[in-house]
Structure 1
Amino acid sequence: MADWGPVLIAVLLFVLLSPGLLFQLPGKSRVVEFGNMKTSGFSILVHTIIFFGLITIFLIAIGVHVYT
């Protein structure tokens, strides 16, 4: 039996936290912009830090496991 929890959580967070897809933090003209499909280097850095924090919480602190 394989543990698919880390894979599913990582893919879901990667898609949801792609800068410009749902939101961009910080935006070009505002602090948060929604659905603009644009990005910058600083927003990539911010989204990377958020991704790392959330994946650490879900995988290490909570311990999400999905077995098939």
Structure 2
Amino acid sequence: MSDWGPVFISVVLFILLSPGLMFQIPGKSKVVEFGNFQTSGISILIHALIFFALIAIFLLAVGLHMYIGTS
């Protein structure tokens, strides 16, 4: 059986935390902007730190595992 938990959580967080897709921290004119499809270097850094923190929480602290077995 394969552990698909890290793969699934990484893909979902990568999509949700892509800067400018759903939200951007910091935005061009506000602290948080939603759905502007733009990005900057500092927002990429902030989103990468948030991604790393959430991955560490979900995979190391919580220990999320998803096993898919074939019969």
What is the TM-score normalised by the length of structure 1?
0.99
Q: How does 1:1-68 map onto structure 2 within 5 Å?
A: 1-68=1-68
In the alignment, the residues of structure 2 paired with residue 5 and residue 21 of structure 1 have an alpha-carbon distance, to the nearest angstrom, of 24
Q: How far does the alpha carbon of each residue in 1:23-60 deviate from its partner, in whole angstroms, 9 at most, with x for none?
A: 00000000000000000000000000000000000000
In the alignment, the residues of structure 2 paired with residue 23 and residue 37 of structure 1 have an alpha-carbon distance, to the nearest angstrom, of 9
Larger of the two Rg values belongs to structure = 2
Deviation at 1:2, TM superposition (A): 0.1
The AA in structure 1 aligned to 2:52 is F
Relative to its length, the structure with more strand (as a share) is 2
Moved >4 Å (runs of 4+):
none
Q: Using the aligned pairs only, state the percent identity.
A: 69
In the alignment, the residues of structure 1 paired with residue 63 and residue 15 of structure 2 have an alpha-carbon distance, to the nearest angstrom, of 21
Q: Aligned pair count?
A: 68
Gaps of 5+ in 2: none
Please report the RMSD computed on the Cα atoms of aligned residues, expressed in angstroms. Answer: 0.2
